[in-house]
Structure 1
């Protein structure tokens, strides 16, 4: 099963967040990354970019590109802090901070791609992609 399939099932509420986490943890991330020679020529990702558009107000937020290496460390640290200070500890404890760092390392070795694009009923949009 592919990660995108799991995320689509989660979005459609066919599975719970806990089930999605368990399914994603069971996937060998290296199986998900299929880099062929033409993609290697296009280069590797160095940055993660986040854009948010408020559908009601029409305002936009474009965060500056952030280095993938830094994001891996920040995300890993954020999970550790969340476990200490969150009411949702049991969910966060299922995340392995090393796996999060590994995920960002995989993204760094992959050509630029869209990771997430979510649109709400009111027209609000969140995009996360590498470049």
Structure 2
């Protein structure tokens, strides 16, 4: 899979976060779709399934953890990268136990996010120097 054919979904109720992440990922050669809610992302899966999803943990109506559970229950094996501004050890553990590839705390480090996407999708060339989130 090449970068230009790799589609990443960004799910965050904060439109400025969606815009910033989309700009960053596109600058690294990735195709990006953004969604302002977990429901709108789930509704899109009938049309297109991304290589991975970067999703906010704290969203109204359906949290990132609930979205992760919905994906699993629906038989979608999409690698998940959870992002949050509210880090909690128990939540981190639940997300990772349920299969999240990464759990990253905002503000995100560009290198860490790109490394996580590389790990999730198996593509090379998106990550910079090794870093921790």
What TM-score does the superposition give when structure 2 sets the normalisation length? 0.24
Bigger relative CO (Cα 8 Å, ≥ 6 apart): 1
Higher-Rg member (1/2): 1
